[in-house]
Amino acid sequence: MAKKVTKIGVLTSGGDAPGMNAAVRAVVRTGIYYGLEVYGIMRGYTGMVENDIIPMHSRSVANIIQRGGTILKTARCKEFLQKEGRQKAYNNLKDLGIDGLVIIGGDGSFRGADVFSREFDIPCIGIPGTIDKDIAGTDFTIGFDTAVNTAVESIDKIRDTADAHDRLFIIEVMGRDAGYIALHSGIATGAEHILIPERKTDMEELISSLQEKERRKKLVNMVVVAEGDEFGGGDQVAALVKERLPNVDTRLCILGHIQRGGSPTCLDRLIASRMGYSAVECLLEGRHNVMVGILNNRMQYTLLEKAVKSKQKISDEWMKIVKILAS
Least distance CB 106 / ligand ADP (angstroms): 3
Annotated ligand binding at 287? The verdict is no
**Of 168, 93, 142, 181, residue with least CA distance to 275:** 142
Cα dihedral: 101, 107, 112, 116 (round 10): 50
The total of other beta-carbon atoms located within 10 Å of residue 1's CB is 4
- The piece of 11-19, 142-150, 247-255, 277-285 that touches ligand ADP (CB under 6 A) is 11-19
Nearest-angstrom CA–CA distance, 73 and 273? 19
Nearest-angstrom CA–CA distance, 279 and 310? 21
Task: Figure out which of the listed residues 43, 73, 111, 288 binds ligand ADP, where binding follows CB under 6 A.
Answer: 111
90 binds ligand ADP (CB under 6 A): no
Q: Is 63 exposed, middle or buried (0-12, 13-18, 19+ CB in 10 A)?
A: exposed
Q: Which is nearer to ligand ADP, 106 or 179 (CB)?
A: 106
Whether residue 326 contacts residue 193, with contact meaning beta carbons closer than 8 Å, is answered with yes
Annotated ligand binding at 25? The verdict is yes
Helix (H) or strand (E) holding 161: helix 144-165
Task: Figure out which of the listed residues 37, 99, 107, 229 binds ligand ADP, where binding follows CB under 6 A.
Answer: 107
**Of 84, 124, 86, residue with least CA distance to 103:** 124
Task: Figure out which of the listed residues 39, 80, 169, 277 binds ligand ADP, where binding follows CB under 6 A.
Answer: 80
How many chain residues are in contact with ligand ADP, going by CB under 6 A? Answer: 17
Q: Binders of ligand ADP among 113-172, rule CB under 6 A?
A: 115, 130
Least distance CB 79 / ligand ADP (angstroms): 8
289 binds ligand ADP (CB under 6 A): no
Residues lying near ligand ADP in the complex (CB under 6 A) are found at: 13-15, 45, 76-77, 80-81, 105-109, 111-112, 115, 130
